[in-house]
Amino acid sequence: MALSREDLKAKILEKALTGPKAQLYVKDFYACDPESGPRDIKNAANDLVKEGKMTFWSSGSTTMYAAQGRAKDEENR
């Protein structure tokens, strides 16, 4: 059984907050719930951004996710 949206979000946020990597690709979250499809995972991660708990980091060509304040960036230096 795939996790509920809220449980999935909690797992994703935990990984973003406490994992060794500050910035993560959406694929890095796939392991949070092998039962959830890529689309569910990306929607859950994007929800966390909407809630202000995570932020996007973009090189311009690639986009990654980071817990709020963890992204390595000019604005956070």
Residue ranges that bind another protein, judged by CB under 8 A: 21-23, 25-27, 37-39, 42, 46, 49-50, 52, 55-63, 65-66, 71-77
DSSP letters along 16-67, please?
Answer: HHHSS-SEE-GGGGGGG-TTS-HHHHHHHHHHHHHTTSEEEEE-SS-EEEEE
Smallest distance from the beta carbon of 41 to another protein, in angstroms? 9
Smallest distance from the beta carbon of 33 to another protein, in angstroms? 14
Question: What would the two tokens of residue 9 be?
Answer: 């979000």
Smallest distance from the beta carbon of 4 to another protein, in angstroms? 20
Residue with Cβ nearer another protein (6 or 74): 74
Distance (Å, whole) CA 64 – CA 6: 21
